[in-house]
Amino acid sequence: MTDVEKRQDRSPVPTDWTYAPAPESTSILTIEERYGLYIGGEWQKAKEHFTTISPRDESPLAEVAQASEADVHDAVAAARTAFKTWSKLPGAERSKYMFRIARILAERAREFAVLESLNGGKPIKESRDVDLPLAAAHFFYYAGWADKLEYAFPNRTPQPLGVCGQIIPWNFPMLMLAWKIAPALAAGNSVVLKPAETTPLTALLFCDVLRQAGLPAGVVNIVTGDGSTGAALVDSDVDKIAFTGSTQVGKAIQRRLAGTEKKLTLELGGKAANIVFDDCAIDQTVEGIVNGIYFNQGHVCCAGSRLFVQESIYEPVIAKLKQRMATLRIGDPLDKNTDVGAINSREQLTRIEELVEAGKEEGAEIYQPPCRLPEQGYWFAPTVFTNVAQSARIAQEEIFGPVLSVLTFRTPEEAVEKANNTPYGLSAGVWTEKGSRILWMAERLRAGVVWANTFNRFDPTSPFGGYKESGFGREGGLHGMEPYLTFDAAETFGG
Q: What residues make contact with ligand NAP under the rule CB under 6 A?
A: 167-171, 194, 196-197, 226-227, 230-231, 234, 244-246, 249, 252-253, 267-270, 301, 398, 400, 426, 471
Name the minimum Å distance from CB 20 to ligand NAP: 34
Please say which residue, 158 or 476, places its beta carbon nearer to ligand NAP: 476
Among the listed residues 116, 126, 267, 469, the single catalytic one is 267
CA 340 to chain centre: 15
**Secondary structure (H, E, C), 100-132:** HHHHHHHHCHHHHHHHHHHHHCCCHHHHHHHHH
Please say which residue, 251 or 434, places its beta carbon nearer to ligand NAP: 251
Please say which residue, 86 or 243, places its beta carbon nearer to ligand NAP: 243
Q: How far apart are CA 183 and CA 104, in angstroms?
A: 18
Q: What angle do CA 289, 292, 295 make, to 5 degrees?
A: 120
Burial of 167 (0-12, 13-18, 19+ CB in 10 A): buried
Please say which residue, 52 or 386, places its beta carbon nearer to ligand NAP: 52
Do 270 and 302 contact (CB within 8 A), yes or no?
Answer: yes
Exposure string of 359-374, with b = 16+ CB inside 10 Å and e = fewer, is: beebebeebbbeeeee
Name the minimum Å distance from CB 226 to ligand NAP: 4
Identity of residue 252: A
Tell me the residue number closest to ligand NAP, measured at CB. 230
**What are the Cα distances from residue 450, in Å, to 148, 309, 310, 390, 464?**
29, 17, 18, 21, 10
Cα distance between the two ends of the chain: 84
Please say which residue, 94 or 474, places its beta carbon nearer to ligand NAP: 474
Name the minimum Å distance from CB 254 to ligand NAP: 11
Identity of residue 401: G
Name the minimum Å distance from CB 231 to ligand NAP: 4
Do 250 and 227 contact (CB within 8 A), yes or no?
Answer: no
Name the minimum Å distance from CB 398 to ligand NAP: 5
69 flagged as catalytic = no
Do 51 and 63 contact (CB within 8 A), yes or no?
Answer: yes
Name the minimum Å distance from CB 84 to ligand NAP: 27
Q: How far apart are CA 36 and CA 476, in angstroms?
A: 31
Pick from 394, 402, 355, 398: nearest CA to 378 = 402
Q: How far apart are CA 331 and CA 145, in angstroms?
A: 41
Do 276 and 289 contact (CB within 8 A), yes or no?
Answer: yes
Please say which residue, 50 or 487, places its beta carbon nearer to ligand NAP: 50
Pick from 330, 322, 328, 399: nearest CA to 367 = 322
Name the minimum Å distance from CB 350 to ligand NAP: 12
Name the minimum Å distance from CB 271 to ligand NAP: 9
Residues 6+ apart with CB under 8 A from 361: none
Pick from 257, 210, 253: nearest CA to 42 = 210
Please say which residue, 331 or 471, places its beta carbon nearer to ligand NAP: 471
Residues 6+ apart with CB under 8 A from 127: 112, 113, 114, 116, 117, 120, 174
Do 456 and 302 contact (CB within 8 A), yes or no?
Answer: yes
Please say which residue, 126 or 267, places its beta carbon nearer to ligand NAP: 267
Name the minimum Å distance from CB 150 to ligand NAP: 29
Taking residue 387's Cβ as centre, other Cβ atoms within 10 Å add up to 15
Please say which residue, 55 or 412, places its beta carbon nearer to ligand NAP: 55
Among the listed residues 197, 301, 398, 482, the single catalytic one is 301
Name the minimum Å distance from CB 458 to ligand NAP: 10
301 flagged as catalytic = yes
Q: How far apart are CA 418 and CA 428, in angstroms?
A: 12
Identity of residue 37: L
Please say which residue, 205 or 449, places its beta carbon nearer to ligand NAP: 449
Active-site residue set? 267, 301
